[in-house]
Structure 1
Amino acid sequence: MNRRELLKAALAIPFLPAVMTGAIGSAWGTGSRFYSRVHPGQAGWPTPSQWDELKQAVGGRLLKLESPFTASKTACDEALQHIKNPFYLGDQPALTQTSGWADAWLSRTSPYAVAAQSAQDVAAAVRFASKHRLRLVVKGGGHSYQGTSNAADSLLIWTRHMTAITVHDAFVGQGCEGTQAPQPAVSVQSGAIWIDAYDAVTTQNGRYVQGGGCTTVGVAGLIQSGGFGSLSKAFGTAASGLIEAEVVTADGEVRIANVCTNPDLFWGIKGGGGGSLGVVTRLTLRTHALPEFAGAVFGEIRAATDDAYRALIAKAIRFYQHDLFNPHWGEQMHFRGNNALVISMVFQGLNQQQAQAIWQPFLDWVRASKDYSLVKPVQALALPARHMWDAEYFRQHVPGAMIADDRDGAPRNHVLWSGDQGQVGWFIHGFKSAWLPASLLDEDRQSQLVDAIFACTRQWDVGFHFNKGLAGAPPEAIAAARDTATNPQVVDAFALAIIAGSGDPVYPGMPGANQDLSNARRESAAIDRAMDALLKVAPNAGAYVSESDYFQRDWQQAFWGTNYPRLAAVKRRYDPQGLFFVHHGVGSEAWSADGFTRKA
């Protein structure tokens, strides 16, 4: 986006002229140090001896990076062999889980990375980047669709090896003694991924921590983006479960953030977006009592005609509103352009017989008409909730549901859901999301929603992620989500609609990689039309920062709504010079698109 487009977009944000302009101006305008960051070969780029000083400061853990696709034939062959293995990709500091986005970005390798093992390593890297005016990038899980965990010519802080997990029976935040009741919790370092957190908390200890649905997502990145998992309709956002964080701020200091210590930074971390306010090195999250059972309902129904499909959409929406719009149910219904409804719902707190009974009237209606066929039978499956992320249990009872890390010596618990493998290494053609207000489920508005869904599917498939809208959640989950930086629209939304398209991996230097930009642009245009059709019934819908359009014009309003001025104030306090930059992150409007040049 060029500067003129940015200013036009800013003026379209209702609260920006009166509130945000002053906050942004005082944060990154008058009185700030205007400068450009340096590239390799430019004056000011660190000398070899200065890089050696950093290496010594971090205990030798400074890596000189090269993509495995260009390093050697052996490295390239290994990368090609594991290109759809997210655990392999996560172990490569030179690669990211997403390979790029058409006309937006490609996965680029930093020349140097600090393979941090402690907050002190991170602090040393932060101070070095600030002193030498370097573009700084932070990567844990590396799942960012927006490309925020990589940048050419940057210093990478790579937290992958910071994986310690500690389960607490009674945790009290630092400085909160006497004011905060002890509570069950888990402390997780920022390089950990969710499968390890679930293994420690649920499989091994029989409790629940609200995390992400995809098992290879980084814990720290999810918390900072807000975060949703399959059971968020019951337990709220991942960010709202944060009790305390350890954060390295732009001055190189290691700080504790909780409700008693640095409370403004604590609030900003809870949904304010990763990579903008500091480098999170440890998080402590609330854990919950585990329900006895959890399970899923899967299947696919196809309609014979367009009219029958409209009726199927209408029936599905009524069924959701009447029977599934509650804390028991999460995950997805997909409405497809081939007149199919694909069901992949998850439930908790119900057994298999109870789940089947809930779905039976809907299925009876489907079977009663010759206009519908069950492409895949709609089935309910349940299991003891303690085994929900238990790799050994799934190997024995549901083979194929999870895919294991296929490398020799890989931890046995390192598995991902088979349905998530399509995202591994993908090259995004287009991606849009929108929170749909629960008012659309009102009886007098359901027909409008049905028309919008049908019109949307004439352009592209759309998925309704019911667990990513908190309307219908318990009051305590709603209240906790309101006390985060996430767009307040989330608590009034019954679902997050996602419309996306992608292609095969296209990492730079990868043999046979083909971006096929003409096809990508056609798909992107169709995705735009599909979302436009859907948004006719929700014209002011916000978007989820981690799952959104790279080219989102009204990103401040879409991602954070009325919370953005407060986030700008947190940015001003803890990073007044703008050391931390990510695409469409807090304060990024003060910088060029690549994050190297401050705007005058």
Structure 2
Amino acid sequence: MAKVSSLIQFLGLTTLSLAWSHTHCKAAPGSPFWPSDIEWSQLNTTLSGRLLAPSPPGAVCHPTQPDFNVLSCLAVQTGWLTSSWHADNPVSTIENNWNNDTCIPLPTYPCTGEGYPVYVVNATCANDVKLGVDFARENGVRLVVKGTGHDYLGRSVAPNSLSIWTHHLRGLDFHDSFRPQGCSPSFEIEGPAITAASGTQMLELDYEAHLRNLTIVGGGAGTVGVGGYLTGGGHSALSSTYGMAADQVLEIEIVTPGGDILIANECQHTDLFWAVRGGGGSTFGVLTSVTIKAFPSTQFNTVTALIATAPGTDAYWSVIANILSQFPSLDELGISAYTFIVTSFMSADFNITSPIDGYYGIFMLPGLHPENTSTSLEAAVKQVFADATASYPGQFVTYTNATSYPDFWGYYEPNNGPLSAGNDGLLGSRLLDKKALTENLTALAEAFKTASPLGIGAQAYLVGGRGVQNAKPRGGSNAVNSAWRKAFVHSVISVGWNPLDEKTKEEQEALLNGTYTEALRKLAPDMGAYINEAYVNEPDWQHTFWGDNYERLLEIKKKYDPWDVLWCHPCVGSEGWEVVDNVLCRV
């Protein structure tokens, strides 16, 4: 294991003295409380050599770094732009800014390790996780959890930390019915279920389910991992049919901050079972496996659709508002959608070579009933477009293309995403209810006009509705934001900037929070936002992300983690700490 002195030099830890003027801080290299080399070596021994001390993944591209290698650099630069590459790396995440841009694989940028964990537990079983959690708690070391790094809020990485990497927690078990542990011998949940280790990613889970003629409520991107996705609630193309992903959870195995390996379900540890399903990841413990409900596969129908008009057309925003106002009616038909509102838009996929003001996306309809066909879906989408453009003859061009797949996997395998990575950026979002979508179309049009950056636009996902409203999670309820139970649309906005361009970053973040997202907050002031895709510094984040559930979640956090072993922002119970000079300290 590397010596502490060399770690300090490499990590650039020259500002610890300011942080350590605080009396209650997590240990960091160079502090009096950081474990010795011998203690780290002992941890490595108990882990059978699975304690890693990885260099920053971009270091191979920097001639000043000992890992510099031209051939390795080319591979890293190629992989850096894909989420799958970051998922396979023990410390990397899909967005550069969460690592503080400290070692991008371009030699023109600086490279240090100060944006990354110092050590990583490469966990292969729940006991590996326990050993890492116990070590962090007993030594006051900051602890983070990384599954795939597919995290838009930066919760899965931190400097001066020990990381639990769950990527190699593998295994799937399929059940015709499921009996939760601790329930009466006669208690059994009917219907198919799947137990997945927390290192499982959506592409594998969907594929293995498909092989058994099953479908799951899963994430849109194949590299999303089950842990962070389910603990955040988890929306899906099938949420409008079956509910949130968290609504499908039947049982969890979790390592608590106290080092206990627990099985939680509706019969035992019921408070923890409630909290983990929607209360956010890296908070109440480290999820090691989860059992979820599955559904028989059905035909899956889609329509790819586009509306286009000349840039600056006055009627454009009225048409957008009209389309969105019809989303609750589409939901009544069982239809969900991922759609995009973009001005000054060009697309190779649609052969659009000159800028247009456009609205495009994919509408989806599971074939649960004989009348649910690609023909019926296309007719419904065409009717929405016709109604929206009826007052503006000749000003809009529409396009639809219907496809039927034998099951959800047939659609998902070629279309899962986004799978891109390696950028700097932030998201903002808002959940929109029927009132926001239908009560005042003028206000709706103005809100999306304000919330749509030129050339980037806004996303309007029809992933709420009846399925989420009528879901019946085990135990009667879970911690999913109550705003989801009224929402039809999850709307997302993104901004980006070049690495280390602090001026542009500040400008874009100010626009994201004060202009784009604020327009949607004003449109739906009584709603909230989805924790896994949101602005990291959302005002009143406690209630924006968890509504009336927050106070109960905070009590459960204090019960299971009175030491604050797990900390992330914005996460339940994070108010008592702040990061000072890359060190986590009590406020």
* TM-score, normalised via structure 1 length: 0.82
CA contact under 8 A between 1:592 and 1:598: conserved in structure 2? yes
Deviation at 1:304, TM superposition (A): 5.6
- Partner in structure 2 of residue 337 of structure 1: 343
* 104 and 72 in structure 1: CA distance in 2 versus 1, 3 angstrom threshold: closer
- Partner in structure 1 of residue 400 of structure 2: 378
- Partner in structure 2 of residue 99 of structure 1: 96
Q: Does residue 127 of the first structure (1) align with residue 121 of the second (2)?
A: no
**Matches for 1:531-570 after TM superposition, within 5 Å:** 531-570=517-556
* 122 and 389 in structure 1: CA distance in 2 versus 1, 3 angstrom threshold: farther
Partners of 2:380 and 2:538 lie apart in 1 by: 39
* 384 and 216 in structure 1: CA distance in 2 versus 1, 3 angstrom threshold: same
Deviation at 1:94, TM superposition (A): 2.6
Q: Does residue 437 of the first structure (1) align with residue 433 of the second (2)?
A: yes
* 65 and 101 in structure 1: CA distance in 2 versus 1, 3 angstrom threshold: closer
Q: Does residue 81 of the first structure (1) align with residue 78 of the second (2)?
A: yes
Deviation at 1:45, TM superposition (A): 1.5
Partners of 1:463 and 1:544 lie apart in 2 by: 14
Q: Does residue 220 of the first structure (1) align with residue 227 of the second (2)?
A: yes
CA root-mean-square deviation: 2.6
The C-alpha deviation readout for 1:379-420, integer Å capped at 9, x for no partner, is 2222111533674xx5xxxxxx5xxxxxxxxxxxxxx43xx1
Aligned to 2:315, the other structure's residue is in SS state helix
The C-alpha deviation readout for 1:552-582, integer Å capped at 9, x for no partner, is 1311011111101110111111111111111
* 100 and 346 in structure 1: CA distance in 2 versus 1, 3 angstrom threshold: farther
CA contact under 8 A between 1:231 and 1:329: conserved in structure 2? no
* 206 and 473 in structure 1: CA distance in 2 versus 1, 3 angstrom threshold: same
CA contact under 8 A between 2:305 and 2:401: conserved in structure 1? yes
* Partner amino acid, structure 1, of 2:529: A
- Partner in structure 1 of residue 244 of structure 2: 237
Aligned to 1:344, the other structure's residue is in SS state strand
Aligned to 1:592, the other structure's residue is in SS state strand
Q: Does residue 35 of the first structure (1) align with residue 24 of the second (2)?
A: yes
Deviation at 1:146, TM superposition (A): 1.5
Q: Does residue 464 of the first structure (1) align with residue 460 of the second (2)?
A: yes
**Matches for 1:354-365 after TM superposition, within 5 Å:** 354-364=376-386
CA contact under 8 A between 2:143 and 2:163: conserved in structure 1? yes
* 567 and 122 in structure 1: CA distance in 2 versus 1, 3 angstrom threshold: same
Partners of 1:482 and 1:556 lie apart in 2 by: 23
Q: Which moved more, 1:96-105 or 1:514-523?
A: 96-105
* 450 and 589 in structure 1: CA distance in 2 versus 1, 3 angstrom threshold: same
Partners of 2:386 and 2:82 lie apart in 1 by: 40
* Partner amino acid, structure 2, of 1:221: G
CA contact under 8 A between 1:335 and 1:462: conserved in structure 2? yes
Partners of 1:116 and 1:103 lie apart in 2 by: 25
CA contact under 8 A between 1:234 and 1:477: conserved in structure 2? no
Aligned to 2:338, the other structure's residue is in SS state strand
**Matches for 1:518-529 after TM superposition, within 5 Å:** 518-527=503-512, 528-529=514-515
The C-alpha deviation readout for 1:195-237, integer Å capped at 9, x for no partner, is 1110111x21111111111110111110111111111111111
* Partner amino acid, structure 1, of 2:271: D
- Partner in structure 1 of residue 323 of structure 2: 316
| Aligned equivalent of 1:495, options 472, 483, 489 | 489
- Partner in structure 1 of residue 40 of structure 2: 51
Partners of 2:227 and 2:307 lie apart in 1 by: 35
The C-alpha deviation readout for 1:36-84, integer Å capped at 9, x for no partner, is 2111122222222211211121121111110132132243332112112
* 599 and 363 in structure 1: CA distance in 2 versus 1, 3 angstrom threshold: closer
- Partner in structure 2 of residue 407 of structure 1: none
Deviation at 1:183, TM superposition (A): 3.4
Deviation at 1:139, TM superposition (A): 0.6
CA contact under 8 A between 1:115 and 1:161: conserved in structure 2? yes
* 308 and 386 in structure 1: CA distance in 2 versus 1, 3 angstrom threshold: closer
* Partner amino acid, structure 1, of 2:440: R
Q: Which moved more, 1:307-316 or 1:490-499?
A: 307-316
Partners of 2:364 and 2:206 lie apart in 1 by: 17
Unaligned runs of 5+ in 1: 1-33, 395-400, 402-415, 505-513
CA contact under 8 A between 2:427 and 2:492: conserved in structure 1? yes
The C-alpha deviation readout for 1:421-453, integer Å capped at 9, x for no partner, is 34x12211x4211111222344x4334323322
Partners of 1:105 and 1:220 lie apart in 2 by: 27
* TM-score, normalised via structure 2 length: 0.83
Aligned to 2:467, the other structure's residue is in SS state coil
The C-alpha deviation readout for 1:484-508, integer Å capped at 9, x for no partner, is 212101111111111111246xxxx
Moved beyond 4 Å, runs of 4+: 101-107, 363-368, 478-482, 594-598
* Partner amino acid, structure 2, of 1:555: W
* Partner amino acid, structure 2, of 1:168: H
Q: Which moved more, 1:324-333 or 1:169-178?
A: 324-333
Partners of 1:102 and 1:598 lie apart in 2 by: 19
Unaligned runs of 5+ in 2: 1-22, 60-66, 104-113, 345-356
- Partner in structure 1 of residue 106 of structure 2: none
* Partner amino acid, structure 1, of 2:562: P
- Partner in structure 1 of residue 353 of structure 2: none
Partners of 1:325 and 1:494 lie apart in 2 by: 8
* Partner amino acid, structure 1, of 2:131: A
- Partner in structure 1 of residue 350 of structure 2: none
Partners of 1:564 and 1:211 lie apart in 2 by: 25
Deviation at 1:278, TM superposition (A): 0.4
Deviation at 1:371, TM superposition (A): 0.9
